[in-house]
């Protein structure tokens, strides 16, 4: 019986499956040594991506009862972005399609929360320029600090952590030529090119004066300006995020702002908290962030050596911010910040 002719494979011929395995970017994404496909690998990485997503979407649900954990997370919430490239690299190393698809969730959540801050929203007419700076009580370069602040050509300059004595006298002397009007209450002060009236301290419930309110009589009308320095917060293993005193001050400042009779209001201060921190809601719920409205980027202001959070704020009500930015470093551990405002 005749045998069917045998067809010899041509040199270099391969099966379709083998050919597919050599396609760039596909090789190695099949089953691993334990028989798991790309969709069955990397479930732990996918779970971590979901955890980051939950933190971004539901950070308000993280309780503050234990060590003010919720406020601590919200203070550094933008930095969750650092987890995204790590998860991406691990997903590629693991060759897990599941992990990479799951990674899309925190990317979208982060973009929804912070993506708008990455665009430049500055521009437009302005009538009023403000500068805010915690000068640091141990600042030894008063002249250099004043030079940085005046370079922004502000109409008003708000300062916190003013020390009575030589430092305060030095600021008064160096600012007097350009800013003939000023008010100081406790450790905070405001210097202005325009006349001030109705000035006085604001009680933020800490036992000494760290906030003031004044009316700046601009050529475009009266503007109520508040300067505040909230109590400091600390992070330690025993007590967690110790922010209770600051939170009580936020309540008091919020009440003062709510009672303000002038329609145009500007708040300048070191609030020791970010716009994301729920505990500052008594203030942030009724004021508009100049950085968020008219800035470019996050505008981190502290610590000056490696800024990681924007705890210095310029907020407005009844006026329109048109630009916001940080100034060069001074002798303080905070960066100065500035904003232009259309009255």
**Domain map of the chain by residue range?**
34-117, 120-342
Residue 240, pLDDT above cutoff 50: no
pLDDT category at 10 given cuts 50, 70, 90 is low
| pLDDT, mean of residues 301-323 | 97
Residue 135 has pLDDT above 60, yes or no: yes
Of 190 and 25, which is predicted with more confidence? Answer: 190
User: What is residue 40's predicted lDDT score, i.e. its pLDDT?
Assistant: 84
Cβ atoms 25, 81 nearer than 8 A: no
SS3 content of the chain, % helix, strand, coil (to 5): 35, 25, 40
Tell me: pLDDT of 273 over 70: yes
Per-residue pLDDT, 180: 98
Q: Is 33 exposed, middle or buried (0-12, 13-18, 19+ CB in 10 A)?
A: exposed
Query: For residue 85, is pLDDT > 80?
Result: yes
Q: What percent of the chain has pLDDT over 90?
A: 76
pLDDT value of position 8:
54
| Inter-residue contact 339 to 286 (CB < 8 Å) | no
Residue 236, pLDDT > 70, answer no
User: Which residues make beta-bridge pairs with 342?
Assistant: 320
Task: Reply yes or no on whether the pLDDT at 25 is more than 50.
Answer: no
Residue 259 pLDDT grade (very low, low, confident, very high; cuts 50, 70, 90):
very high
Given a contact cutoff of 8 angstroms between Cβ atoms, the answer to whether 67 and 240 are in contact is yes
265-270 sheet: strands from edge to edge = 196-201, 211-218, 221-229, 265-270, 312-317, 288-289
From 62-71, 164-173, 204-213, 283-292, the region with the lowest mean pLDDT: 62-71
Statement: residue 19 has pLDDT above 50 = no
CA pair distance 105, 80, nearest whole angstrom: 13
Mean pLDDT across 155-171: 93
Bridge partner residues of 130 (DSSP): 156, 339
Which is higher by pLDDT, 115 or 67?
Answer: 115
Instruction: Determine the average pLDDT of the residues in 117-132.
Output: 94
Q: In whole angstroms, give the CA distance from residue 283 to residue 136.
A: 24
Low-confidence winner among 98-107, 244-253, 282-291 (lowest mean pLDDT) = 244-253
Q: Which two tokens stand for residue 59?
A: 């950070």
Q: Give me the pLDDT at residue 232, please.
A: 81
Q: Which CATH number fits domain 120-342: 3.30.450.20, 3.60.10.10, 3.50.50.60, 3.30.70.1520?
A: 3.60.10.10
Mean pLDDT (the chain) is 89
Instruction: Give the pLDDT of residue 244.
Output: 76
Q: How confident is the model at residue 200 (pLDDT cuts 50, 70, 90)?
A: very high
Q: How confident is the model at residue 20, as a pLDDT? A: 41
More confident residue, 316 or 12: 316
How confident is the model over 50-78, as a mean pLDDT? 89
Q: Which of 168, 210, 167 is nearest to 185 (CA)?
A: 210
- Report the distance separating Cα 341 and Cα 267, nearest Å: 12
Does residue 290 carry a pLDDT above 80? yes
Tell me the mean pLDDT in the region 233-251: 70
């Amino acid at each position: 019986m005749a045998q069917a002719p045998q067809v010899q494979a041509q040199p270099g011929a391969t099966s379709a499956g083998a050919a597919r395995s050599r396609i760039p970017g596909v090789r190695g994404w099949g089953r691993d040594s334990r028989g798991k496909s790309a969709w069955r690998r990397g479930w732990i990485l996918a779970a971590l991506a979901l955890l980051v997503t939950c933190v971004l979407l539901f950070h308000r649900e993280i309780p503050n009862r234990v060590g003010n954990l919720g406020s601590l997370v919200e203070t550094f919430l933008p930095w969750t972005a650092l987890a995204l490239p790590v998860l991406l690299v691990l997903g590629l190393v693991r060759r897990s399609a599941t992990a990479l698809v799951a990674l899309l969730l925190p990317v979208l959540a982060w973009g929804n929360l912070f993506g708008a801050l990455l665009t430049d929203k500055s521009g437009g007419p302005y009538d009023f320029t403000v500068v805010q700076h915690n000068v640091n009580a141990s600042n030894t370069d008063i002249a250099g600090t004043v030079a940085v602040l005046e370079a922004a050509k502000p109409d008003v300059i708000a300062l916190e952590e003013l020390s009575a004595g030589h430092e305060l006298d030095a600021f008064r002397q160096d600012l007097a030529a350009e800013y003939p009007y000023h008010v100081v209450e406790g450790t905070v002060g405001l210097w202005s090119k325009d006349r001030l009236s109705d000035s006085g301290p604001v009680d933020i419930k800490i036992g000494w004066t760290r906030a003031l309110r004044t009316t700046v009589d601009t050529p475009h009308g009266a503007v109520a300006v508040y300067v505040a320095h909230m109590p400091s917060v600390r992070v330690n293993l025993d007590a967690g995020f110790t922010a209770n005193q600051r939170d009580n001050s936020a309540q008091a400042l919020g009440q003062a702002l709510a009672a303000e009779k002038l329609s145009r209001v500007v708040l300048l201060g070191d609030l020791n908290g970010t716009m994301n921190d729920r505990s500052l809601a008594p203030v942030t719920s009724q004021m508009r962030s100049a950085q968020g409205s008219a800035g470019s980027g996050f505008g981190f202001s502290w610590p000056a050596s490696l800024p990681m959070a924007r705890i210095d704020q310029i907020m407005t009500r009844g006026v329109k911010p048109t630009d916001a930015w940080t100034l060069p470093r001074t002798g303080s551990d905070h960066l100065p910040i500035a904003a232009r405002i259309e009255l």
